[in-house]
Amino acid sequence: MKEASGRRRTVRISDVAAAAGVSKTLVSYALNNRPGVREETRERIVEKARELGWTPSLPARALSVSRAYAIGLVFEKSPEALASDQYYTSLMAGLQSVLANERYSLVTEVVESTEAEREAYLRLAQDGRVDGMVIVDLRQDDPRFALVREAGLAFVSLGWPPERTTMPVLVYDESEAITDVVRHLVDLGHRRVAQVVGPQTNAPARLRRELYQKRFREHGIDASRWIESDYTAAGGRAATAALLDGDRRPTAIVYSNDLMAVAGMSAAFSRGLRVPTDISIVGWDDITISQYLHPALSTVTQHPFDDGKVAATLLLEAIGGREFVEPVWMPNPRFVPRESSGPASA
C-alpha cells in the first residue's frame, strides 16, 4: 500500500472561521465556551467545526497557553522489576481512565538510575512536555520534590512528602492490615517470624517494616529478624535461603511484596519444606496469580487502579490552580488470608 499521504491537509481554525464567515477569534471563543458570543453564532460555528472535523492543534494551543496537556510518570526501576510488579501497570491504567476524558495524555519514562531520573524530570519540565508529575515510590530525602519545585511543576504524591505542600497528597494506612496479619499469625501459634523487606531507602518500605516490628513486639515476638531485599524474585529467594538455612528457622515469613513471597515459597519447596505445614508465607500486593498459586498466597490487597484514578483527578485540579491543605486518605489495604499461612509447626 502506497502511504496515501501527499501532505496531510489538516483543517485549521481559520478554515472554520472562513466557513462560518467570522473571525478566527470568534471561533476560538465559541469553541472554548467563552462568554460574549451570540448563541446563534456559536451554534453556527460549532456546527461548521464539526462539519469540517476540526480539532485544535495541540502544539499550537500548548504554545500559546503554555500548557502541555499531558502529565508525566517516571519509573526509576529496572525493566525487569517494573514488568514483574503489577502495581505500576494498574496505576497507569487508573490514571489513563480519567485523563482520556480530559484530553490529557500520559507520558511515561523508564529510567535505571537516579541520575537518569533527574535528567528525565528536568527534560520533561524544561521541554514543556508535561504540566505535572505523578510521584510514586517515595524515597528517603526524595530529590524529586526539589526538582518539581524548581521546575514549577504541579504534582501529586503517592505517600507523605518530606515537606508541607499545597499539592495533592494521597496516603493510606497500612497499620490496620499489618495488625491483622500479625494477629492471624499469632493466633496460629507463630512465635518465630521473620521479614523480607524492600530497599530501606524507600520510605514506605521502611515504614512497613517498622509497623510490622511494632506489632510483633506488642505480642512479645522477637522483631529483629528482617532481611533487606530489592522486591525482585531473585532477591526474595536469596533472602529466604538465608533465613531457612540459618539456625532457629522461622515458622513464618512475611514479605513486602508478592513476587519475593513467591520466590520464597520456591526456596522453601526446594529444601523439602511444605507450605504452610512447615513454614507459613504472607505476601503483600495481591498480584493476579497469587490466588492461583498452590498453595494460594496469603497476602494484602491494594487498590492501584483507584489510586491512579484519584491521583489523576487531583493532579488535574492542582494544575487548574486548586490548592490542597489536607492529604487525601485512600481506602486501607486489606489482609486476605489464603492457604499459604497455617498453624505453626512444632
Partner DNA sequence: GTGGCTCCTTGAACCGGTTCACGGCAAGCT
Partner DNA sequence: AGCTTGCCGTGAACCGGTTCAAGGAGCCAC
Question: Does residue 229 contact residue 195 with C-beta atoms inside 8 Å?
Answer: no
User: Which stretch in 27-35, 131-139, 181-189, 264-272 sits in contact with its own copies by CB under 8 A?
Assistant: 264-272
Q: How far is the CB of 134 from its own copies (least distance, A)?
A: 13
Rounded CA-CA distance 61/98 in Å is 21
Largest CA distance in the chain: 88
Subset of residues 62 to 91 that bind its own copies, contact rule: CB under 8 A: 62-63, 68, 70, 79-80, 82-84, 86, 88-90
Question: Which cell numbers in the block locate residue 79?
Answer: 525493566
Only one residue has cell 504472607, namely 282
Q: Is the peptide bond before 250 cis (omega within 30 degrees of 0)?
A: no
User: Which 303-332 positions form the footprint of its own copies (CB under 8 A)?
Assistant: 304-305
User: Which residue has 507523605 as its cell numbers?
Assistant: 160
Single out the segment in contact with its own copies by CB under 8 A; choices: 43-51, 150-158, 186-194, 221-229: 150-158
What count of Cα atoms within 13 Å lies in the side-chain half-sphere of residue 79? Answer: 1
Opening angle at CA 202, ends 198 and 208, nearest 5: 60
Q: How far is the CB of 116 from DNA (least distance, A)?
A: 24
* Closest CB 343 distance from its own copies, rounded Å: 21
Least CB distance to its own copies at residue 105 (A)? 5
Q: Which does 29 bind (CB under 5 to 8 A by kind): its own copies, DNA, none?
A: DNA
Judged by the rule CB under 7 A, the positions of this chain that interact with DNA are 10-14, 21-26, 28-29, 31-32, 36-39, 41, 54, 56-57, 60-61, 63-66
**What 3-state class would DSSP assign to 149?**
helix
Region of 174-182, 219-227, 243-251, 293-301 interacting with its own copies (CB under 8 A): 293-301
Tell me: does residue 126 bind its own copies (CB under 8 A): yes
Angle formed by the axes of helices 39-52 and 24-31, nearest 10°: 90
Interface residue with its own copies, options 12, 44, 118, 129 (CB under 8 A): 129
